Amino acid sequence: MESNNFNFYQFLEENGYEKDVIRERSGETFCTNYQKNIAPETWNAITIHKNKTFSAASPSLGLVYKEREQPYTAEEARAILDIIEKE
């Protein structure tokens, strides 16, 4: 079986997403948010949860993905961004 070297977090940053890590009082990561300004005053968001699933929302569609498994390829990730980057 071929190993998967795709890095979803790096893909998001390479596509203009800003990263914000939310920590618990203990310092442990609670979640990581990635946001992108897709139009003036219009942002979308992807949240990576502790269990490594993600949720994603777009300005026009609201919550599109809830606690889903991360994409394994750039093509899968691009399809997600194409949906949530719609105004």
Model confidence over 33-81: pLDDT tens digits?
Answer: 999 999 898 999 999 999 999 999 999 999 999 999 999 999 999 999 9
The answer to whether residue 52 sits within a structural domain is yes
Which residue segment(s) compose the domain that 78 sits in?
8-82
Overall number of domains in the chain: 1
Q: Is the pLDDT of residue 85 over 60?
A: yes
User: Does residue 25 belong to any structural domain of this protein?
Assistant: yes
Q: Is 76 inside a domain boundary?
A: yes
**Residue 51, in any domain of the structure:** yes
Q: Is residue 32 part of a domain?
A: yes
pLDDT for the residue numbered 54: 98
Angle, CA of 70, 28 and 67, to the nearest 5°: 25
Q: Write the CA distances from 62 to 56, 73, 84, 85, integer angstroms.
A: 8, 24, 9, 11
